[in-house]
């Protein structure tokens, strides 16, 4: 035994020296099992989608509508959205640092909130308005409620409503399409949005095709149903969202406006299509109401959520003081999410275990 050991000791340095001089290409280095292995609970695999990739995909899906907004309203539209996104990002960083929470700006949720808020502002919005809205969305609506996953209300929508209540004139200063604002809103030509016409009992001047493509006045992101639907379809195909909320939301509005038209002398379906395409219904249905955090996680819950929001939109548009009801409808339904989820708890496969 001892002799053997000696032999091994003697041989080793030689072998090492040899490999140093001429490393053999065929021999792969022997890797030993590490002393420290990671022990985690199962499962040991994860789906590739993470919070970050989902947020980035939603941002990607919003880009066509944003580019269209920039095309019809001018570069200023892009600037407003950039200010919102940037200040949301910063606000998230500052708030999380100030509150001593882990900084999670890399999840890109603040960027998405900022982009959505920007697309919900008119292109004429001053920079300070965009910044105030962003800070309100992130600090008050999101972080004060506990941060991502804990906020009750959709931050972008709550900020939009806050700005509308605080500075209504800035928030309704819509420009006509193709105003092509550069950096100053001074030369804006004010226009009434299709919703305002509808509120006053008349069809808007724009044709249905113009409404569908987005040749109308409105906020940066809401005008083009076509590009929003393109983005929404992408989200559906990528299984980021399910069909339940958009279909029940838009479907309820369509059904109610078809059943109870408010403008005489036109076909029911024509009035219905104007109502569906006007205002923020499409962007709301695909991008705001489907916000994970503030919508139910159950199938039936999502359908109730969508139908409830649709009902509220029509009520507000018909009987309320405001021409638009999308923001309010979603915020009201946001506050009911917990109850809806509890009421729509799925039935356990094969029936729940009985009490032992």
Q: Which residues here bind other proteins, judged by CB under 8 A?
A: 28, 30-34, 37-47, 49-54, 102, 104, 106-107, 109, 147-149, 242, 292-293, 295-299, 302, 341, 345-356
Beta carbons of 192 and 279 less than 8 angstroms apart: no
> Residue 21 or residue 39: which is nearer to other proteins going by CB?
39
> Residue 164 or residue 334: which is nearer to other proteins going by CB?
334
**What is the nearest approach in angstroms of other proteins to the Cβ of residue 356?**
5
Beta carbons of 156 and 134 less than 8 angstroms apart: no
> Residue 181 or residue 307: which is nearer to other proteins going by CB?
307
**What is the nearest approach in angstroms of other proteins to the Cβ of residue 62?**
18
**What is the nearest approach in angstroms of other proteins to the Cβ of residue 348?**
5
Q: CA 125 to CA 139: how far, in whole Å?
A: 21
Q: CA 234 to CA 248: how far, in whole Å?
A: 18
> Residue 24 or residue 319: which is nearer to other proteins going by CB?
24
Beta carbons of 216 and 177 less than 8 angstroms apart: yes
DSSP assigned state of 203: -
Buried b (16+ CB within 10 A) or exposed e, 276-309: bbbbbbbbbbbbbbbbbbbbbebeebbbbbbbbb
> Residue 13 or residue 43: which is nearer to other proteins going by CB?
43
> Which tokens belong to 293?
């955090």
What H or E segment, with its residue span, contains residue 16?
helix 2-21
Q: CA 188 to CA 345: how far, in whole Å?
A: 51
Selection from 234, 207, 232, 348 nearest residue 290 by Cα: 232
Beta carbons of 156 and 181 less than 8 angstroms apart: no
Selection from 18, 134, 49, 123 nearest residue 80 by Cα: 123
> Residue 115 or residue 121: which is nearer to other proteins going by CB?
115
Selection from 307, 290, 177, 278 nearest residue 231 by Cα: 290
**What is the nearest approach in angstroms of other proteins to the Cβ of residue 333?**
14
**What is the nearest approach in angstroms of other proteins to the Cβ of residue 335?**
15
> Residue 94 or residue 105: which is nearer to other proteins going by CB?
105
> Residue 6 or residue 299: which is nearer to other proteins going by CB?
299
**What is the nearest approach in angstroms of other proteins to the Cβ of residue 283?**
20
**What is the nearest approach in angstroms of other proteins to the Cβ of residue 63?**
21
Selection from 67, 44, 66, 146 nearest residue 101 by Cα: 146
What H or E segment, with its residue span, contains residue 86?
helix 75-99
**What is the nearest approach in angstroms of other proteins to the Cβ of residue 266?**
40
């Amino acid at each position: 035994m001892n002799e053997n050991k000696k032999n091994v000791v003697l041989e080793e340095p030689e072998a090492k020296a040899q490999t140093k001089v001429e490393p053999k290409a065929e021999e792969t280095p022997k890797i030993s099992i590490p002393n420290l292995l990671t022990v985690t609970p199962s499962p040991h695999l994860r789906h590739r989608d993470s919070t970050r990739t989902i947020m980035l995909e939603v941002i990607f899906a919003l880009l066509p509508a944003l580019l269209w907004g920039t095309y019809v309203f001018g570069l200023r539209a892009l600037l407003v959205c950039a200010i919102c996104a940037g200040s949301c990002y910063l606000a998230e960083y500052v708030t999380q640092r100030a509150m001593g929470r882990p900084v999670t700006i890399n999840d890109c949720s603040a960027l998405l909130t900022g982009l959505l808020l920007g697309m919900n502002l008119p292109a004429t919005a001053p920079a300070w308005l965009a910044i105030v809205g962003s800070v309100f969305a992130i600090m008050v609506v999101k972080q004060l409620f506990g941060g991502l996953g804990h906020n009750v209300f959709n931050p972008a929508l709550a900020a939009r409503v806050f700005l509308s209540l605080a500075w209504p004139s800035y928030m309704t200063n819509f420009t006509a399409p193709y105003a092509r604002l550069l950096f100053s809103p001074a030369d804006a030509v004010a226009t009434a949005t299709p919703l305002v016409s509808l509120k006053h009992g008349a069809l808007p001047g724009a044709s249905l095709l113009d409404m569908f493509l987005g040749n109308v006045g409105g906020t940066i992101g809401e005008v083009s149903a076509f590009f929003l639907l393109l983005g929404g379809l992408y989200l559906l195909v990528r299984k980021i969202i399910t069909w339940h909320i958009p279909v029940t939301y838009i479907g309820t509005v369509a059904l109610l406006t078809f059943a109870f038209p408010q403008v005489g002398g036109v076909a029911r379906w024509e009035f219905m299509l104007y109502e569906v395409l006007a205002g923020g219904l499409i962007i709301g249905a695909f991008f705001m109401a489907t916000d994970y955090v503030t919508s139910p996680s159950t199938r039936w819950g999502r359908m109730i959520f969508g139908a409830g929001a649709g009902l509220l939109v029509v009520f507000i548009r018909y009987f309320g003081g405001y021409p638009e009801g999308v923001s309010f409808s979603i915020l009201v339904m946001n506050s009911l999410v917990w109850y809806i989820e509890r009421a729509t708890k799925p039935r356990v496969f094969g029936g729940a275990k009985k009490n032992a």
